Amino acid sequence: MKHSYKITGMSCNGCRTKVETTLNAISGLEAVVTLEPAEAQITMEKHIPTSQMQEALTKAGNYGIEMANSNGTIQETLEKPKEKSSCCNTKK
C-alpha cells in the first residue's frame, strides 16, 4: 500500500533527512520525504496507524504528519507541532 502524507515542522534538508530516517526506522514501512512540497510517500507492507508514525516523529523533533487523500486534501489530522523549530536550531 502506498500513501501520501503532509509533513509539518520541516524547514531544511536536515529536517527532511531526520523525518525520512525516523519514518524508515518503523518496521514494515518505506518512506521517501520531500521538502518542497513537504510530504512523504510511504509504502507499507501492512497498515501502520498514523498515530504510530506521529509518535516516532514527536520523539525525533517538532514534526507533524497528516494523511492526504487521493485529491490532495487532508483526511486525518493529528496533533501538530506547537511551535516551529528546525533541527538546525536545536541542541544535539
> Which residues, at least 6 apart from 13, have a Cβ–Cβ distance to it below 8 Å?
35
> Where in the sequence is the domain holding 70, given as residue range(s)?
2-81
Assess if residue 16 is contained within a domain. Answer: yes
What pLDDT score was predicted for residue 68?
81
pLDDT (tens digit per residue) in 16-38 = 999 999 999 999 999 999 999 99
Q: What is the CATH number of the domain that holds 77?
A: 3.30.70.100
Tell me how many domains the chain contains: 1
pLDDT (tens digit per residue) in 36-92 = 999 999 999 999 999 999 999 999 999 999 988 655 444 444 444 444 455 665 444
Assess if residue 90 is contained within a domain. Answer: no
